[in-house]
Amino acid sequence: MVSSSTPTKVGGMLPAVDGDVLRVVRDAGTISRADLTRQLGLSRPAVSARLDSLTRLGLIQGTGPGPSTGGRPPSLVRFVPDSAFVIGVDLGATSVDVAIADLSAQPVAHVAMELDVRDGPDKVLGIVCDLIDELLDRPLGNGRRPADVVRGIGIGIPGPVEFELGMAVSPPIMPGWDQFPVREFLAERYGWPVFVDNDANLMAVGEGCAGAGSDVANFLYAKIGTGIGCGVICGGSVYRGQSGSAGDIGHITVRGQAVACHCGNAGCLESVAGGRALGRVARELAESGSSPGLARALAATGALTAADLATAITEADLAAIEAVRAAGTAIGEVLAGLVNFYNPSLVVIGGGVVQIGDLLLAAIRESIYRRSLPLATKNLMVTTGALGGQAGVIGAAATVLAELYRLLPMSRKARG
Amino acid sequence: MVSSSTPTKVGGMLPAVDGDVLRVVRDAGTISRADLTRQLGLSRPAVSARLDSLTRLGLIQGTGPGPSTGGRPPSLVRFVPDSAFVIGVDLGATSVDVAIADLSAQPVAHVAMELDVRDGPDKVLGIVCDLIDELLDRPLGNGRRPADVVRGIGIGIPGPVEFELGMAVSPPIMPGWDQFPVREFLAERYGWPVFVDNDANLMAVGEGCAGAGSDVANFLYAKIGTGIGCGVICGGSVYRGQSGSAGDIGHITVRGQAVACHCGNAGCLESVAGGRALGRVARELAESGSSPGLARALAATGALTAADLATAITEADLAAIEAVRAAGTAIGEVLAGLVNFYNPSLVVIGGGVVQIGDLLLAAIRESIYRRSLPLATKNLMVTTGALGGQAGVIGAAATVLAELYRLLPMSRKARG
């Protein structure tokens, strides 16, 4: 197992829980101790000890003897799905999503808001806390107060993260966040364990546990938003690399491009095909007269975004179509190189820019299949995510469950 | 653990051996059963059972009681380093190296020969067998016949490999080898287990177990030879990807290049900076009159290779220097993207073209550091291999030891 993907203990707060036992009980709903012992291949005392710790945490309950099939009636245990919840936060460059999720990482309540991550950690995390508080004030379906049953927080941020320390490191599109102790900030406020990761990593985890990447051991999740990043799933776990910056594909050079990038280089993928770049391209098309539709939109609103390109495409605006195809080709060329290198079986395309639609996806696909080796694409699927904008919060919740309860959301098959 | 890196059983030939016990005994030389039990954290009966199976294989011996330190004298076991050997084969596009190696994957005898892998599997593997036979005819240092103590063969080939099947799949520079059953061919001839892998993968394993990558969990080994490939070490094991083609970086596009490549695309790294490409560039410099030295060499020999560029550089030939710098820049630009994506702590540069020397390495380094993100290069080392041309045979031997005896050559630390 990759060392950086091993569940981390945080300040002794984590109970010693056996995720295998919990997962089997969860997936079964109700199960006899004898069946559990058989399925896990463990001794009866070992299973009993694990069940005791899970019972103390309230995650399972004994339900008394079940119906006898001849001999002694079986002793049953039952998963208690609403015994614990976690909070998942997906912080993007221009918005935040917050959800309360159950022990299957499925959101049961959700709030979202627009913001600007460039306003810095104090203001932005203040908004995050307001949204968390709003969710904590709403009673859950079982009538319980969230504050009584929430056990941890997971948060994704749009930049490189030192996962063990829970802080951003040199995030290019997050001025003021470098080395900011996100984990401590939230842990002090709420008293729960907090896990911080890169947003694309968490989206990859989300799609891996409940979406397009279920049961896929090695895949890439390319997030095309304001920034461009990539979550790398290796053997069913997030691969973070040496400094936590693995998947930082936004500054890979695109052939034939010379646009200056905020990183100091030129021709970076993000400077060509990221959300801000597409807004800039839309403005150029409007101002140059290439696109009358975008010119009207600019006159009406004073600013253009990738969404305006999407609108123009629906109006068969040829300049907009060409611009989106060029962005897709650039994304696909970079992904083609990574497909050659990483030989995944799946590339999931996600992030806000994907809302532009099929034209972008088609251009990305065409470019990947043209520039990757046939062997690398023989069994390759390129698809949009199955969870849409929810991938991030589901992945954040799943990460908390994996770290707290070793309740790995991905199937055993994917973990190889 | 990545599923594709799990040791594979081949036709029930492999003994059930505990690599941890064997490694501890090997590293200690001689050790008492009590110390072994303590170090491994296993029960005494468990250790006894493991020692019994290792004793039956001749890998260890009981040496009777050791000196008493007061109580009962300790029962000692001893590693028998010359009890088993393996054969490592490193097949390149234009040469082959064959070695017999001991249980630490260190070669004890070695032969090499030039060949052309394009002559097809029957002829080329015929040469490989001749070389193996030559080594089997030489008595070992302990006076024993190699045929009596060799336990397996590992072979690296310069193309994508389906590791589980032991055959090449669609290898671009190996016409006639597609789907050829390399493993069966050698296994039928010798009767030993055979393991086939991509050559760059095995070079990476070699450097990981005994060279520049010792104790490094995540690193890349870029092999710059006739072809260009990359071994990807992830958590201390080879990462092979979905179809065994991971690390196939020779056909990643280089910015601003349009040279046609044999893969059907243009501007591929291999078509710009591989050994054949450098031979072509040398000829162009000779024929255009840019390099009088290369022109003389061409007139004298009728053909030029990368080695002629190296010679020209030592004569301060400006055109040759410029050509090598350009190749290094192209290699570095592709590696820069992979450093951003994979965030390794080490990139090892190997393969025959590296013999051009420091100028090439300097250009590669400069290009990586210019085009990668600062966070990804903060703790990055870029270096040539420590094993030189031996990396492949050592990696091949190490792979056999890992598969046969679970005697993983890399340290526990690197495996995370």
pLDDT in tens, A323-381: 999 999 999 999 999 999 999 999 999 998 888 989 999 999 999 999 998 889 989 99
Max alpha carbon distance in chain A (Å)? 85
- pLDDT on residue B409: 53
**B363 and B263 together in one domain:** yes
- Our count of domains for chain B comes to 3
pTM for the model: 0.88
- pLDDT on residue A13: 36
Measure the CA angle with vertex A71, ends A69 and A73; round to 5°: 70
Is residue A256 within 8 angstroms of chain B, CB to CB?
yes
- For residue B255, what pLDDT band results from cuts at 50, 70 and 90? confident
Q: Let me know: does B269 contact B256? Beta carbons within 8 Å.
A: no
**B177 and B269 together in one domain:** no
| Cα gap B317→A269, rounded to integer Å | 37
Which residues make beta-bridge pairs with A381?
A346
Per-residue pLDDT for B5 more than 80? no
- For residue A408, what pLDDT band results from cuts at 50, 70 and 90? low
pLDDT in tens, B351-382: 988 889 899 999 999 999 999 988 899 899 99
Q: What is the CATH number of the domain that holds B183?
A: 3.30.420.40
Is residue A160 within 8 angstroms of chain B, CB to CB?
yes
Specify the DSSP class assigned to residue B268: B
CB pairs under 8 A between A and B: 166
More confident residue, A66 or A408: A66
More confident residue, A177 or A14: A177
- pLDDT on residue A6: 38
**B284 and B335 together in one domain:** yes
Retrieve residue B389's tokens: 């041309």
Report phi then psi at B67, rounded to 5: -65, 135
B221 to chain A, minimum CA–CA distance in Å? 12
**B229 and B181 together in one domain:** no
**A224 and A366 together in one domain:** yes
Is residue B43 within 8 angstroms of chain A, CB to CB?
no
Per-residue pLDDT for B217 more than 70? yes
**B232 and B194 together in one domain:** no
pLDDT in tens, B81-123: 888 999 999 999 999 999 999 988 999 999 999 999 999 999 9
pLDDT in tens, A90-119: 999 999 999 999 988 999 999 999 999 999
Q: Let me know: does A121 contact A178? Beta carbons within 8 Å.
A: no
Which residues make beta-bridge pairs with A228?
A224
* Interchain proximity B375–A341, CB inside 8 Å: no
**A199 and A328 together in one domain:** no
* Interchain proximity B249–A337, CB inside 8 Å: yes
| Cα gap A378→A344, rounded to integer Å | 11
How far is CA A405 from each of CA A20, A41, A125, B283, B301, rounded to the nearest angstrom?
10, 20, 26, 64, 69
What percentage of residues in chain A have a pLDDT greater than 70?
93
What percentage of residues in chain B have a pLDDT greater than 90?
64
Q: Let me know: does B192 contact B89? Beta carbons within 8 Å.
A: no
- pLDDT on residue A207: 96
Per-residue pLDDT for B8 more than 90? no
**A59 and A150 together in one domain:** no
Is residue B380 within 8 angstroms of chain A, CB to CB?
yes
| Cα gap A54→A50, rounded to integer Å | 6
- Domain finish residue from A34, A64, A79: A79
| Cα gap A220→A217, rounded to integer Å | 10
- For residue B138, what pLDDT band results from cuts at 50, 70 and 90? very high
- Domain finish residue from B45, B63, B79: B79
- The whole-chain average pLDDT of chain B stands at 89
**B257 and B378 together in one domain:** yes
Retrieve residue B168's tokens: 């090449």
| Cα gap A86→B276, rounded to integer Å | 57
The residue assigned the tokens 């927080």 is A153
**A247 and A352 together in one domain:** yes
What is the three-state SS of A156-196?
EECCCEECCCCEECCCCCCCCCCCCCHHHHHHHHHCCCEEE
Mutate to test the interface with B, among A6, A177, A220, A242 (most CBs of B within 10 A): A242
Q: Let me know: does B323 contact B278? Beta carbons within 8 Å.
A: yes
Per-residue pLDDT for B177 more than 90? yes
Report phi then psi at A258, rounded to 5: -135, 15
- pLDDT on residue B18: 67
3-state SS class at B302: coil
Is residue B334 within 8 angstroms of chain A, CB to CB?
yes
Q: Let me know: does B286 contact B324? Beta carbons within 8 Å.
A: no
- For residue B318, what pLDDT band results from cuts at 50, 70 and 90? very high
- pLDDT on residue B1: 30
**Hey, how many other C-beta atoms are within 10 angstroms of the C-beta on A271?**
24
More confident residue, B35 or B220: B220
- Domain finish residue from B52, B79, B106: B79
**Hey, how many other C-beta atoms are within 10 angstroms of the C-beta on A21?**
26
- pLDDT on residue A17: 57
State mean pLDDT over A237-250: 93
Amino acid at A291: S
Show the domain range for A94. Answer: 85-208+391-415
In A29-175, where does DSSP find H-type helix? 33-40, 44-56, 121-137, 146-149
The partner residue sitting opposite B243, judged by closest CB among A249, A338, A375, is: A375
Per-residue pLDDT for A168 more than 80? yes
pLDDT in tens, A213-231: 998 999 999 999 988 999 9
The partner residue sitting opposite A252, judged by closest CB among B246, B256, B340, is: B340
**ipTM for this prediction:** 0.87
- A:268-297 residues touching chain B, CB 8 A cutoff: none
DSSP structure string for A238-290: E---SSS-TT-GGGSBPTT---B-TTS-BSBHHHHHSHHHHHHHHHHHHHTTS
B266 to chain A, minimum CA–CA distance in Å? 9
Which residues make beta-bridge pairs with B70?
none
* Interchain proximity A253–B343, CB inside 8 Å: no
Per-residue pLDDT for B188 more than 50? yes
**B257 and B381 together in one domain:** yes
State mean pLDDT over B174-188: 95
* Interchain proximity B235–A160, CB inside 8 Å: no
**B133 and B182 together in one domain:** yes
| Cα gap B365→B184, rounded to integer Å | 41
Q: What is the CATH number of the domain that holds B23?
A: 1.10.10.10
